[in-house]
Amino acid sequence: MSDVPVVAQARANAARTRTIGTWALVGVAVFAAVAIAMQFLRADLDFVRATLSFYLLGPLGVWLQLAYLGLALSLALIGAGYYGAATREGRSRLALCLFLIGAIGVAVTAWAETDRGGAAVLTTAAKIHAISAPLAFLGTTLGMLLQSWVLRRDPRWRQHFALAFGLAAFCFVALWLHALWRELPRGLSQKAVIAAIVVWLMLAASWLRRTSDAP
């Protein structure tokens, strides 16, 4: 009889983790759908050259801004989901903090208007955007790397370590290639990095959704 409360608590925790995973997956999927739709709706922008920041501008930009907020929430949920459900050995407070930094960076980036080009002096919003966007990328990719690394210490998700860490490492390297290799088409290279990050986030959220009831 003494094991009954432990089992009940484990089931409740697992149900909560699955709910977190579901909402995180929804947020990432909505972001991906809106971002893809924008590539067709914004015929005024060059898909190869225009980074996603420029799709935040204009009358349709509000939909992408809202999708950014959904993505920010998903980042926070993924960080909190793994931190709350992992064993003591598989838990990383730093990974959670990095996901939260990424989430804040994404949310700020959505509403701080990027530099449109041609202005002699950057606006305050453009300066904030120039800081928050790289912070969002760095916080998210570093959080992905660290969270993937600690998965190997948790029996519940150890089987996903190789895929998670390999994809996270690819995203991190691709991000720095985009940042440092200026000859790359800016829009296309950034969108490729974002697409890879989205794949990792969807996998991470789906693994949370499949959390078992086992204590």
Tens-digit pLDDT profile for residues 122-132: 789 999 999 99
The rounded distance, in Å, linking the Cα atoms of 147 and 143 is: 6
137-169 pLDDT, tens digit per residue, is 999 999 999 999 999 998 888 999 999 999 999
The rounded distance, in Å, linking the Cα atoms of 209 and 144 is: 17
The rounded distance, in Å, linking the Cα atoms of 152 and 128 is: 37
Whether 65 maps to a domain, the answer reads yes
- Tokens 């998210």 correspond to what residue? 140
The rounded distance, in Å, linking the Cα atoms of 203 and 199 is: 6
Token readout for 151 is 């998965």
The pLDDT score that the predictor gives to residue 214 is: 63
Token readout for 54 is 């420029």
Instruction: Look at residue 42 and give its three-state secondary structure.
Output: coil
Whether 149 maps to a domain, the answer reads yes
Question: What is the count of structural domains for the chain?
Answer: 1
The pLDDT score that the predictor gives to residue 3 is: 58
The pLDDT score that the predictor gives to residue 1 is: 43
Other beta carbons less than 10 A from residue 7's beta carbon: 12
Whether 152 maps to a domain, the answer reads yes
Counting as low any pLDDT under 70, the low residues of the chain are: 1-4, 6, 117-121, 213-215
The pLDDT score that the predictor gives to residue 156 is: 86
Whether 73 maps to a domain, the answer reads yes
Whether 215 maps to a domain, the answer reads no
The pLDDT score that the predictor gives to residue 160 is: 95
- Cβ atoms of 89 and 152 within 8 Å: the answer is no
Whether 119 maps to a domain, the answer reads yes
Q: Whole domain around residue 8: which residue ranges? A: 4-209
The pLDDT score that the predictor gives to residue 95 is: 97
Whether 214 maps to a domain, the answer reads no
